[in-house]
Each structure stands twice: as C-alpha cells, then as structure tokens.
A and B are shown apart, each in its own frame.
Chain A
C-alpha cells in the first residue's frame, strides 16, 4: 500500500514518551481514586496530583502542565464525562492549580518544597472550581457556606499529597 500525501508520521521524542508514561500513571490513580467512596460529594483526595507534583519537581512546569491536562481530558474519556459539567470543573481546577504552580515553582527550593506546591495548588483547585460553580451552575451565595469545608479538605489532602510526593522524591532522587 502506498502512502497517500495526507499521511503524516508522528515522531514522538523521549520527552513525549515520558509525558505519556506519567499521564498514564496519573490516570491509573484517578481510576483508583474513583473507587474510594467519599463521605461528602465533591471532596476527593486528588491522588493524581501527586504525579503532577513529581513531574513538576523533576522535569519542570511545562511537562507538569502536559501531564495534568492530559490526565483531565483522558480521564473524562475513561469516565464518559467529556464536556459535562464535571469535566469543566476538573479542567477549571487543573488550570487554576497550574497557573499557581507556575508561580509557586519559582519560590526558592531551599525553603519551599512539594508540600508548599501541593497545598497552594489544592487551594487554587477549589478556588477555580468554586468560581466556576458560582458563575455557571449555582449563582447563589448559599454555596459559599461550603467553602470552609472544601478549604479544609484542600488543606488536608494538599498536605498529605505533598508529603507523599516529597517522600517519593527523597527516596528516588
């Protein structure tokens, strides 16, 4: 069979393979996490963000962005939620986290490690989600009553995820 002129061949670089590998691990964690029952709807540990944190520390912000956004899009394909409100909430959270991580990763590494990144990203995540919920889904001040609850969950899971990422990075430098 002869190749038509419309064929094009992708030449994935080593970095592309690395992105795909890490995104696959993040996806695995997302699926694993969906099996954990949550006592409060909307509160999830966000285990996949551990992968984002590790990629951020090892390969920098650009690759972390790739891994994070690939995870959101491919995860929504796995769960059949592409372009549903849940997908846009994930996307809003991920984008806000990434914007904050761009700034946070410039903090001096001597004092600020993965735990800082994780907590800041978790807060940015709920801030982005709540903002989207407020302007798009439920424009009612009543949802602000949930903010302390979500912020507490972000602090808890942000710290724990950050510790796991820091532990992993310390084990395998």
Chain B
C-alpha cells in the first residue's frame, strides 16, 4: 500500500511535531545530566557525601558487614556487599543524577545528586 497519498501536508507537520516532542521528552527525562556528588546512606542516615571528582574506595558499615563503594572516573558503583541477592552490586556503574543503588538488608544506599536534583526519591 502506497501511503504517500494518505498523508496530507498538515499530517506530515503534526507527525514531525510529535516526533520532536517525543525527542524532547526523552532528552528531558532520560538525560538528567551527569552527577557531581554521591550521597551515601547507612541505616537511613547520611553516612557521607562525596564529590565524584576524586577516585576513591569507601567502606560503609552495615548490620551484615562492610559495603564497599568505588568512585572512579566520575562514576560510582557498589563494588562489594554482604547482602545475599547482590542486586546493588549487579546494578553496576551509576553516573546520572537521580540514579541510586540500595543494598538490602545491609541498609546501605548510594544516590547521585547534581546541581539540579530532578526529584527526591528517598523522602517522598
């Protein structure tokens, strides 16, 4: 089926505007910007806030033992954690504002923040 005669000029305009809107939404919601800082929480309390500018490893104590957090090349990940399912370790590197990893039941979490925090996921 030849679609060209079915599309009128205004239709093409609306489809293009729609595509622009989809692109704009994607850019707005999925490019939160690169993070500047990581907030490390243990047992619900802020343990440390660390700038991502310096590469380092941080050990955070939890009820099960130490969670190891690595900051490298402006990214951050949970390197090791004693929690059984290892979800937070498998999440891998985080670098966008608003991304977070939560280790349960060791009660250790990391959350990336930047200049403009899009929303507060922990305090909702």
Contact = CB atoms under 8 A, between A and B. Distances in A.
Q: Is the interface of B mostly helix, strand, loop or mixed?
A: helix
Q: Is the interface of A mostly helix, strand, loop or mixed?
A: helix
Nearest to B21: A151
Q: Which bracket fits the contact residues of B? A: 20 to 34
Contacts of A110: 8
B9 A111 contact: yes
B121 A148 contact: no
Contacts of A154: 18
Contact of A155 (B3, B11, B18): B18
Contacts, number: 74
A98 B63 CA distance: 56
Contacts of A144: 29
25 contacts: A108-B10, A111-B8, A111-B9, A112-B14, A113-B6, A113-B11, A115-B6, A115-B11, A116-B10, A119-B14, A119-B18, A123-B18, A123-B21, A140-B124, A141-B118, A148-B22, A148-B29, A148-B30, A154-B18, A155-B18, A155-B19, A163-B3, A163-B7, A167-B6, A170-B5
Interface of B: 1, 3, 5-11, 14-15, 18-19, 21-22, 25-26, 29-30, 118-119, 121, 124
Q: Which 7 A-B pairs have the closest CB atoms?
A: A111-B10, A148-B26, A115-B11, A166-B6, A112-B10, A141-B119, A148-B25
